[in-house]
Structure 1
Amino acid sequence: MIARGTWIALVAALSIALVPALGIAQEDARTLFQRGQTAYSQGDYDAAIEQWTRAYELDPRPLLQFNLSQAYERLGRLEDAIHALELYLERADPNDEHQSDARARVSALRERVGRTSVRVTGGPEGATILVDGEDRGRTPRPDPIQVSPGSHRIAVRAQGYAEFTSSVVVPAGQSVDVAVDMQPSSGGAQVAQGGDELPVVPIILFSAGGAALIAGAVMGGVALSDAENAPGRDSPEADAARGLALGADITMGAGVALAAAGLIVLLVADSGGGEDREPERISLAPWGGASGGGVAVAGSF
């Protein structure tokens, strides 16, 4: 069992051994702080930040954050400057003489960050504005779009137009205008035109086919009624009824053919095609005879 005197001697020896180590740590923090001061005075703010950050890791004195905020502000890193000042205000003595200055600077920096923006002008109405890939509204947008200081990629997209892209550097507290100049894209224009024109053809064909079927049905009903009321099979009334029935058959056949043509055109339009595809050509030829009639459909797709 170790005597009490021996314990006291060991504790004293350990304390003596730790004092130089603590002194070295404090000395290193002071050295790093002084190096940071020298770098700051020479305009090397990146080096000052590095030295003061290392000093803060060894000796977390709140005033170091106050100094760091100044270096960050000089580099235009306003959000980092605000964060450093907030750390200082959180951890510093409330009676510290720099408190009021820090609060005022935080407010000023936040106002500057709010003014950092891009203003997009021009471009087709309704185009999508993307800032660094994020949707930020539609054109026209006269109000500024708030961004952080630094480099940003602006893109504007609209159907039927080639995409507009631009890389801009926005200084802290400033607004940068981005003038959009978009040219119609040949592919997009053809798609848009095709989307407007292609559905019209099958609609017309379907409508005409339906009208023909209805007319044929009406004619057939009248022919049947006249045939029933005819005095004999060889009478003029019976001949007229047979002629009307033939016309009804031809008309209904044409209606069926028109509807089929509309379906073909619709299917071809849905299948798409390259930019070099020739336009569809459709020809309709009515035919008729003693046994019936219809419409012959010929075309190239």
Structure 2
Amino acid sequence: MDWLRPGALVALLCTGSLLPVSSAAAQGPQGEGEEEASPEAGAPEAASPEDAQAAQQAREHFRTGMEHFEGRRFREAIHEFQLAAALVPSADLWFNIARASEELSDLPSLEQAVEYYRRYLRDRVDPPDRDAVEARIASLEERIEAAREAQLRRPDTGTLRIGVETEGAQVRLDGQPSGETPVPAPISVEPGRHRLDLEREGYVPFRSEVRVEPGVVTTAYADLVPATRYRAVRGRRIFTWITAGLAAAALGTSIGLGVHARSRADEDLSDGRRWAAISDYVLGSALVLGVTSVILYFVEGRAVGTERIGPDDEPLEASRPRPGAF
């Protein structure tokens, strides 16, 4: 009961080498007046090429099935034994199919094992191990009944627990909203695979597939990673505002000198002209400083570096401004 039946191979080796005896040899004694059957009439006829080819194919399938069984590839072994039996039926092949099916242990395979053990007892002439096979059938039927009862008691749903450290993330299960993190209680779901999505602004979206078994609590751990975002670091406009201040001061001084030059021109024309020239000179300086401050505004205000910001727009790290930015 612990191994396969090599007798199937013996039957396959014999099959195809001989055909059944002729009809003349199968008849009873010759009656009076009838010609005696020729000696060759009872001799076995050579197998037809088709029968020999079928027997050869069956032997190959049987040997392949034995190799699969020894390698514990039981489904492949069953397939090869069934192919051999389709070509040359044999009770020992039924036994081998039953043994391989029994090794698979799932409910359909156990039911198949019982079926083929019964075929073996039906087709084998006076099987020497009938009592052992019948006891095996009874044991398998008990296992089948227990498996069926276990299926009836098996829970119809599973439980999914979601573990996330980041708060405020939107949870979606199979595309349907399921609240925010932290999820207060486990979720009851149908057995099988489910798509889990977690999203929060400023974080890389989390996507995963979770398999839930019936009656089992499955925990899915998710680690939300902050999205990598950068912003430009602007230079400080120190010289811009200094130059603009000097330009404003020069403009004010020029205006003051112009007023003073006009008042002096009423008393002394030459003195008034001198102060007017100074006012014009200072006004020109104010214009130059004003243009320079405008240029510096754009030069100093350009980006001199970048910084990575977190989900709450807080700087995480920044590159240092280049010394030659100005």
Using structure 1 for the length normalisation, give the TM-score. Answer: 0.38
Using structure 2 for the length normalisation, give the TM-score. Answer: 0.36
- Larger helix fraction of residues: 1
